[in-house]
Amino acid sequence: MLEYRYDTQLLIEGENLSEDAIHQYITESIPGDCLLAVGDENLIKIHFHTNIPWKVLEYCAGLGEIFDIVVEDMDRQERGLKG
C-alpha cells in the first residue's frame, strides 16, 4: 500500500506566479510527497503525490486558470489496473 495514493499533475496559468510560494504552501498545507512546482511567473507545472488531490486543485485554481489536469490512482496502477 502506498502512503500517498494519487499522482496529481496540472498546469497553472496566471500572472505573478511564484514557484517558491506555491512549493512552500503545498509542502506546509497538504500532506504528500514528490512535489515539483516548476515554471515561470505565467505558467507553473505541478506534480504531487497526495491522498487529497482536491485540495491541490482547489489551491491552484485560486492562483489562476488550471488545465491539463491529471489525477491517477497509483494504487490501482500498482495492481495492474487502469489508474
The 10 Å Cβ neighbour count of residue 18 is: 15
Between 80 and 38, the more confident residue is 38
Burial classification of residue 41, based on how many CB atoms lie within 10 Å of its CB (0-12 exposed, 13-18 middle, 19 or more buried): exposed
pLDDT at 59: 98
Q: Both ends of the chain: CA-CA distance in Å?
A: 15
Q: What is the pLDDT of residues 32-72, one digit of tens each?
A: 999 999 999 999 999 999 999 999 999 999 999 999 999 99
What domains can be seen in the chain, in order of their start residue? 6-78 (3.30.70)
Is 0.85 topped by the overall pTM? Answer: yes
Between 32 and 76, the more confident residue is 32
Q: How confident is the model at residue 78 (pLDDT cuts 50, 70, 90)?
A: confident
Instruction: Note whether 76 and 6 are within 8 A (CB).
Output: no
Distance between CA atoms of residues 2 and 34, nearest Å: 13
